[in-house]
Amino acid sequence: MSHHRLSAQQYLILAFVSVSVPLGDASLSHGMTNLPAISLAHPLTLIAAVFTPWIALGIALLIGYFASYLTALSWADLTYVMPATALGNVFVALLAHFWLHETISPLRWIGVVLITVGVGFVAQGPASTTPPLNLPTSINQADNALVEEALEKEQVR
């Protein structure tokens, strides 16, 4: 876990984390509002909604987000990576206003600005403040298994 400044590639990953969430959410919203109202009595209709084009596009974008998010979490704090996601609120408001034609009141715009300023505070600090946790990890287990397998092959020879 590094405490140094992030590289350009790492900033690009954080930028994708920011952009992919609002785009994915907007796609999901567009898809869900085009569907008839879904009640709790028929929860399986939510599963069927996953296979409609806009929902599928939204899911694809969110999968891309998740891969970038996991990569970022491996070299930065959760409290550092989260603001990148929160920055997406600005994009959400812009997309909701210009694409979905939703009305955004001035008070809501102020809210979006305050959230963005808060996010900026976090972004000024170090990316990581903790050493790696000493938990048993699957990669260690997997590596051990590979080493044991290699030793067994060596013994057979």
> Which residues inside 48-67 make contact with another protein, applying CB under 8 A?
49, 55, 62
Q: Is 92 in the site for another protein (CB under 8 A)?
A: yes
Q: Is 86 in the site for another protein (CB under 8 A)?
A: yes
Q: Is 144 in the site for another protein (CB under 8 A)?
A: no
Of the candidates 5, 42, 44, 138, which one interacts with another protein according to CB under 8 A?
138
Q: Is 156 in the site for another protein (CB under 8 A)?
A: no
* Residues whose CB falls within 8 Å of the CB of residue 31, separated by 6 or more in sequence, listed in order: 49, 52, 53, 54, 55, 57, 58
Contact positions with another protein (CB under 8 A) in 13-52: 21-22, 25-26, 28-29, 32-33, 35, 37-38, 40, 46, 49
What tokens appear for 97 in the block?
A: 């206003």
Contact criterion met (CB below 8 Å) for 71 and 7? no
Contact criterion met (CB below 8 Å) for 61 and 23? yes
- Nearest distance, CB of residue 53 and another protein, angstroms: 15
10 vs 156, beta carbon nearer another protein: 10
Residues 96-135 vs another protein: string with x where CB under 8 A? xx--x-x-xx-xx-xxxxxxxxxxxxx-xx---xx-xxxx
CA pair distance 58, 87, nearest whole angstrom: 18
44 vs 156, beta carbon nearer another protein: 44
CA pair distance 119, 125, nearest whole angstrom: 11
Nearest to 84 by CA among 119, 130, 129, 121: 119
CA pair distance 135, 14, nearest whole angstrom: 26
Q: Is 154 in the site for another protein (CB under 8 A)?
A: no
